[in-house]
Amino acid sequence: MISDTLILASRAAEALAVAHARGVVHRDIKPSNLFLVDRDPGGLKILDFGVARVNHATHQLTGSGSVLGTFGYMAPEQAYESRDVDARADVYALAACCSSA
């Protein structure tokens, strides 16, 4: 079980690193958005980029004052409606996911 959690965390971190390198912050990392292909932690896919933010976008789809995400996995700066939500919020959420596994 611990080895599966480590594999899952590693795969999720790798996937988030790819998104973050492209300037995309997911903003809603939680267990239900981590899909295991054939129930294999090594085949993890991150789902639902519906509230993701692209850091270099010319316009934002969400207004300021909007809290987006799932509170149980949300970084403090995200919960407090900060405009400074970046890739670190996804890392925080991933850690929360793995600690509840």
In the annotation, is 28 catalytic?
yes
Compute the distance between CA of residue 53 and CA of residue 70 in angstroms, rounded to an integer: 15
The DSSP code for 36 is E
Closest listed residue to residue 33, CA positions, set 44, 21, 20: 44
CB 75 within 8 A of CB 84: no
Tokens 């995309």, residue located:
24
Of 28, 84, 86, 90, catalytic: 28
Catalytic residue IDs: 28
